Structure 1
Amino acid sequence: MWLLESKLKNPASKLDSQTEVPSETASASSMSSPSTSSSIAPEGWLDDRMLNAVLHDQREMLAKLEKANETLDTCNTLSHQRIDAYATDFKHHVKLLLEMKKDLESLYKRLRIVQTKVSKLYPANYADAVSKAEMHEIEEDEND
């Protein structure tokens, strides 16, 4: 864009350094004939009308991109705020789950100890209770 703006400000800078022509006369003299309405001047330069149109389009695109960038920045800020809030909740839930896991492991360990004691004190009754529990599980599996 700066290249186009510099060409707009001084379109005669590309002309021979020996001939110093004001910018208005340079663009007028650069046309091959007065009746030609070509938008391209000699040496590949755009005339002022086309150059202004290109600059206008670039400014519009810049405004749109800046607005899109602002929208994305806002979205990014909101995302960071929400993730920070959820991160604290997540850490709390992880801590709670780890405590629950320890409690369950402790509970299963005590249950195994009780089962072992019961199986040693009452081996016949314990074996009978285990076989009934296994049959009950098989019946439930068949019903499902």
Structure 2
Amino acid sequence: MRYGRAASSNEIFTSPLLRQLHAQARLLARLDAIVAARLTVLKNACRVAAYKEGVLTLSTGNSALTGQIRYMQASLLANLRQTPEFAEITQIRVIDCEPAPARKPARPPLPPLSHSVGTLLRETADLLDDAELSEAFRRLASHASDKPTS
């Protein structure tokens, strides 16, 4: 491809880099299918993350599965070596890629209770026979504004 002008579709599709990337993507997809077939119980929780220089990297969603796959690592390695494309695998790495915890959206603080609401809460607490519930109303009333609103 030349720089400075738009590449033709023929140049793009015949690019050696694109061919290499496409071949690598096909290899990873095939490897992912083979690993899923070997790890029938864990196939939905384990993915092929990378394959480079004889090292296969698998990623899982939690540490318990990571331990299980590490335990089965030797038999999985032997099974994969029987496939001609993966006869050069020397090692399997298992990484735990737990998803980042979802952040709670920041909410603005609630407005303070008005003086009249605080008064009503205190009056209600005085009328209640249940001591725990009465104390809860008093604690809630303590958050009310001390200044009467006009």
Fold conserved between structures, TM > 0.5:
no
Bigger-Rg structure (1/2): 1
Q: Identify the structure with bigger relative contact order (alpha carbons < 8 Å, sequence gap 6+).
A: 2
TM-score bracket for this pair, using the shorter chain length: under 0.3
TM-score by length of 2: 0.26
TM-score by length of 1: 0.26
Report the structure, 1 or 2, having the larger helix content: 1
